[in-house]
A and B are shown apart, each in its own frame.
Chain A
Amino acid sequence: MNTITDIKEVSELRALSLNLFNKHGYPTKRDEDWKQSPLNNFLQDNKQLEIYKTNNDSINEKVFENFKHNKIIIVNGLVQKTDFIGKDKDKLIITTIDEYYKKNNKNLLKLFSNKKNPLVTANNALATSGFYLEIKDNLDLPIIIYHQYNSKVDQKQLHQKNYILINKNSKASVFEKFTNENKKTFISINTNIDVEQNSHIKNYILNSNNTENCVYRFKKVNIAASANYESFIFSNIVKTIRDEVEINLNQSLAECYLYYTQFLKKNENHEIKVKINHLAENTQSYQFSKSIIDGTAKGVYQGKIFVDQIAQKTNGYQLIKSVLLSDQCTFHSKPELEIYADDVKCSHGSSSTSLNKDELFYLMARGIPETQAKRLIVQGFLSEVVEKISDENFKNYFLKKTEDMLS
């Protein structure tokens, strides 16, 4: 087991965070940011979950992808195995987060800086595992991080704190594949990502939690000059998830692109919260989300673009679309703008509708049965986002996933 308690500064920061969390408690629908959050009910019902402390847990190799890639396998929050190919070996550093704390205690304050978000303060206080990943150069192959959570975490809560640093002039594709096999579990993952000057990171995420659990993922991304962050989150089978990201575009020419597709069925809940802070001139952000909602599922999208007074020439774009398939599903969206600079172009659009009847008619008139016609329309609808992915290999991978998911 990895404890971080032996570092004095860390235990002090943890105590401080715990205090903050105790003062606020779990979020409720009275908190503006958590109004529609599907996590509230789960957390209120399961306040007393025991905290899981990670051991050497076994790896599930069935989920490995069969193309050539660098592997990082994380079981229940702890790095269990790594496998880097060729020269990429020397371009990476991976350790546990406490190893990192030991070496770099100057950076600690930044990692523990969030004081407002109750679940992040809980994570700061209670994290028992996590990793530190540093990318020092252009990687030849993508990294796949396999996040596996097995039945050992049943009816427990697990807090994990990660830090990813992309050094100057580096490039990497990081694919995070989540598999969950546990029940009544609360998993909170807090990741800080620093993208330094002129670096590019592509961060793709596949959610599939085929169990009764609840996941909260919070990312804080700092982007430096001429750097670029692209993220795509593909949600297929989820129970209750909140994906939250806060992005600071700290220097000029920083850019971020966020793409989401979700297909929610039965009683699945998926919430996305995005906050983008434009803090320097000539920065650009782009959000594009599409959801298909069926059954009694609930989709939530809260997106906010903040433009500081000095962030002139900002481009901010946000488009949220959803299609509701059943009578009992719901979709809530809150596309927010907060702008203090005048020379900006910011826009947002949000729509929610039923399946387009004209399109359905067109296909059916050409002899395609209704179910297949619907599938085609849904596939086309979601693919529009997937097509935006700049990494060709992953674009094809996710297009295939979309097709498989629907058939």
Chain B
Amino acid sequence: MSDNLIQEQIKQDYAYGFVTDVESVRAPKGLNKEVIQFISKQKKEPQWLLEWRLKAFERLQSMTEPNWQKPQYPKIDYQALYYYSAPKGFKEGPKSLDEIDPEIKKTYEKLGIPLNEQKRLAGVAVDAVFDSVSVATTFKKKLEDIGIIFCSISEAVQKHPDLVKKYLGSVIPLTDHYFATLNSAVFTDGSFVYIPEGVRCPMELSTYFRINASNTGQFERTLIIADKGSYVSYLEGCTAPMRDENQLHAANVELVALDDAEIKYSTVQNWYPGDKEGKGGIYNFVTKRGICKGKNSKISWTQVETGSAITWKYPSCILQGDNSSGEFYSIAITNNYQKADTGTKMIHLGKNTKSRIISKGISAGHADNTYRGLVSIHSKASNAKNYTQCDSLLVGNLCGAHTVPYIDNKNSTSTTEHEATTSKISEEQLFYCKQRGLNQEEAVSLIVNGFCKEVLQQLPMEFAVEAQKLVSISLEGSVG
């Protein structure tokens, strides 16, 4: 590719970088007991949840941030952040879509979120989270009819306290690690999904996250419970405006799959990645963990990570039930000064458990892309099987691609397989495509999409198109 064309493409701008002018209610700046009490009060939470939050806060005092990760970042001043920010006039939450601030509606329209049911993409129920609170959940009625609960977690705390109390923190304990504990103390909103026994959720459930206000951290908490024999597919997308400062996003996502249940969780993450010099952007420090509690259960994570200044997350599966299986499909694309340290953990506890990891890392510009993963087969996990494949593609000689897998096998009847390769786009492939009349851009896009295909085809239809486009946009410009 000619240098000019590369330069031109690299300059691709972040399309979701607008700021929405909405007045917001904020908690006082800083992190202390009062702020936590303020958040809890705003949300009219029961006493047990406040106590739970305070317990997490107390624990946080004796914890330190982990520092083993590859991407280093300047120290975060937790006292300079706002931990709660809600669009003004939002104390109660809108009862119907008409009550939503037109500005927010416009924002979501720009993002292409089908908030308006009439104009919706067929069959996607959306919960939209703006800064810290959930602004609307569509299709609620239809889902309620078959017993599915899909609402914001604040609402679930009010309406289904038993479920929340039983499962909140059951997968990611309060004391897990610094950012998970921070989230437990100050989480503001997020989605809650409960699929009752034997129900196959008829549509894709989806959440769209957006950070709008400046100096705000977004700490959402998502909890998905799939009861016996149920199935759900859940999608998550994210964007944020362009700001010079780094914004922190520390979410916790917990998945629980009981006997014969299946959860499919897909993410297309396109937070603001910072500008070409690496200024600004989101710190995406997310804890995602699922537990296959019951027999024959299955959890599948699919992620397309194209945004964020730093992506640091390991969607994991605890395979506790016998015959349960976990899957992890990931594409991580880093460009300019973006950094990603992502991967998964597969903890095999039950018999005949299976896991499969496919990770594709692509780095361009000055970016650093790390796959870090753990496959741990415990001594009682007889006949467990794991297959891991992580491939990296390097574009240009200023970026880095790293692989750090940990494989622990304590059971002699189990099998682990791991393979990884690192390479660049081969000249032969490019030449072949170009000879057949494709231009450089199309050729690169074709090759990269082929490289990512195994992961892309795991995405639900609604996301696959968007993701494919994102992959092309993020990469076309930087391949030479």
Chain A residues proximal to chain B, CB less than 8 Å: 32, 36, 309, 312, 322, 324-354
A324 contacts which chain B residues (CB < 8 A)? 409, 411-412, 414
Q: Is B397 interfacial (CB-CB < 8 Å)?
A: yes
CA of A334 to CA of B402, assembled, Å: 13
Instruction: Name the interface residues of B265-294: CB closer than 8 Å to any CB of A.
Output: none
Q: Does B408 interact with chain A (Cβ within 8 Å)?
A: yes
- B422 lies within 8 A of A336 (CB): no
A349 and chain B: residue at smallest CB distance:
B419
Whether A354 lies near B394 (C-beta < 8 A) is: no
As a 0/1 sequence over residues 394 to 429 of chain B, the CB contacts with chain A under 8 angstroms (1 = contact) are 111111111111111111111111111111100000
Known: A330-B408, A342-B399. A353 touches B415 (CB 8 A): yes
Task: Find out whether the CB atom of B396 lies under 8 angstroms from the CB atom of A342.
Answer: yes
Given A327-B412, A351-B418, is A335 in contact with B398 using a C-beta cutoff of 8 Å? no
From B403, B411, B413, B415, A337 is in contact (CB under 8 Å) with B403
Q: Do residues B379 and A340 form an inter-chain contact, with CB atoms below 8 A?
A: no
Q: Which 5 A-B pairs have the closest CB atoms?
A: A324-B412, A342-B394, A337-B403, A350-B418, A352-B409
Determine the distance from Cα of A346 to Cα of B392 in the docked complex, in whole angstroms: 10
Is A347's CB under 8 angstroms from B419's CB?
yes
Q: For residue A339, which residues in chain B have a CB less than 8 angstroms away from its CB?
A: 392, 394, 400-402, 422
- B422 partner residues in chain A, CB cutoff 8 A: 337, 339, 344-347
A333 to B419, CA, bound (A): 12
**Contacts A335-B403, A339-B400, A345-B423 supplied; 17 other A-B pairs, CB < 8 Å:** A312-B397, A324-B411, A324-B414, A326-B412, A327-B379, A327-B411, A329-B412, A334-B407, A335-B405, A337-B422, A339-B401, A339-B402, A339-B422, A348-B418, A349-B420, A353-B415, A354-B415
Q: Residue on A with the closest CB to B421?
A: A347
Name the B residues within 8 Å of A353 (CB-CB).
Answer: 414-416
Q: Enumerate chain B residues within 8 angstroms of A344, measured Cβ to Cβ.
A: 394, 422-424
Contacts of B48 in A (CB 8 A): none
In the docked arrangement, what's the CA distance between A340 and B397, Å? 7
How long is the Cα–Cα vector from A342 to B366 in the complex, in angstroms? 12
- Report the Cα distance A328→B413, complex, angstroms: 11
In the assembled complex, the Cα of A353 lies from the Cα of B413 at a distance in Å of 7
Q: Which residues of A contact B406 (CB under 8 A)?
A: 332-334
The number of chain B residues with a CB under 8 A from chain A is 34
Contact of B397 among A309, A325, A337 (CB under 8 A): A309
CB distance from B217 to the nearest CB of A (A): 29
**A327–B414 CA distance with the chains assembled, in angstroms:** 10
**Cα distance A343–B396 in the bound complex, in angstroms:** 9
On whether the beta carbons of B424 and A350 are closer than 8 Å, the reply is no
Interface pair B379/A328, CB less than 8 Å apart? yes
Contact B420 A337 (CB under 8 A): yes
A3 vs chain B, min Cβ distance (A): 41
| Contact of B392 with A351 in the complex, beta carbons under 8 Å | no
Contact call A342/B404, Cβ cutoff below 8 A: no
**Nearest CB to that of B406 among chain A residues?**
A334
Question: Which residues of chain B have C-beta atoms less than 8 A from A354's C-beta?
Answer: 412-415
Structural contact, B416 and A351, CB atoms closer than 8 A: yes
Residue in A326, A337, A354 whose Cβ sees the most chain B Cβ within 10 Å:
A337
Q: How far is the CB of A266 from chain B (nearest CB, A)?
A: 15
| Cβ contacts under 8 Å, A312 to chain B | 397
Q: List 7 A-B contacts (CB under 8 A).
A: A328-B379, A331-B408, A339-B392, A341-B394, A342-B424, A350-B405, A353-B414
Chain A nearest CB from B365 CB (Å) reads 12
- Distance A335 CA – B422 CA, assembled complex (angstroms): 13
CB closest chain-A residue, reference B425: A342
B379 partner residues in chain A, CB cutoff 8 A: 327-328
Cα-based distance from A30 to B115 in the complex (angstroms): 49
A345 to B422 CA separation, bound complex (whole angstroms)? 6
The reply to whether B407 and A352 form a contact with Cβ atoms under 8 Å apart is yes
A15 to B409 Cα, complex, angstroms:
42
Q: Once the chains bind, are A338 and B395 in contact (CB under 8 Å)?
A: no
Look across to chain B and name the residue whose beta carbon is closest to the beta carbon of A334. B406
Contacts of B68 in A (CB 8 A): 32
Complex contact A342–B419 (CB within 8 A): no
How near does chain A come to B421, taking the closest CB pair, in angstroms?
A: 4
Contacts A348-B403, A350-B416; is A330 near B409 (CB within 8 Å)? yes
Q: How far is the CA of A331 from the CA of B411 in the complex (A)?
A: 9
Q: Which residues of A contact B405 (CB under 8 A)?
A: 333-336, 350
CB distance from B78 to the nearest CB of A (A): 25
Closest to B415 in A: A353
Cα distance, A335 to B396, chains bound together (Å): 24
Could you say which residues of chain B place their CB within 8 Å of the CB of A335? 403, 405, 407, 418, 420
Using Cβ atoms and an 8 Å threshold, which residues of chain B touch A36? 408
With A339-B401, A342-B395, A343-B424 already in contact, the answer to whether A332 and B408 are too (CB < 8 A) is: yes
Name the B residues within 8 Å of A341 (CB-CB).
394, 397
Q: Which residues of B contact A336 (CB under 8 A)?
A: 402-405
Nearest-neighbour CB distance to chain B for A162, whole angstroms, equals: 32
Contact A342 B397 (CB under 8 A): yes
Bound complex: CA of A212 vs CA of B408, how far in Å? 26
Q: Complex formed: what's the CA distance from A332 to B419 in Å?
A: 15
Q: Is B418 a contact of A337 with CB atoms below 8 Å?
A: no
CA distance A344 to B418 in the complex (A): 20
CA distance A328 to B422 in the complex (A): 35
Interchain CA distance A342-B393 in the complex, whole Å: 8
**A324 vs B402: C-alpha distance in the bound complex, in angstroms?**
28
CA–CA, A388 and B414, complex, Å: 28
Identify the closest chain B residue to A351 (Cβ).
B417
Q: Which residues of the other chain, B, contact A352 by a CB distance below 8 angstroms?
A: 407, 409, 414-416
The listed residue (A327, A337, A350) touching B407 by CB distance below 8 A is: A350
With a cutoff of 8 Å between Cβ atoms, the chain A residues found around residue B396 in the complex are: 342
> Which residue in chain B gives the minimum CB-CB distance to A307?
B422
Q: Are A348 and B420 in contact (CB under 8 A)?
A: yes
List B contacts of A309 (CB < 8 A): 397-398
Nearest CB on B from A29, distance (A): 13
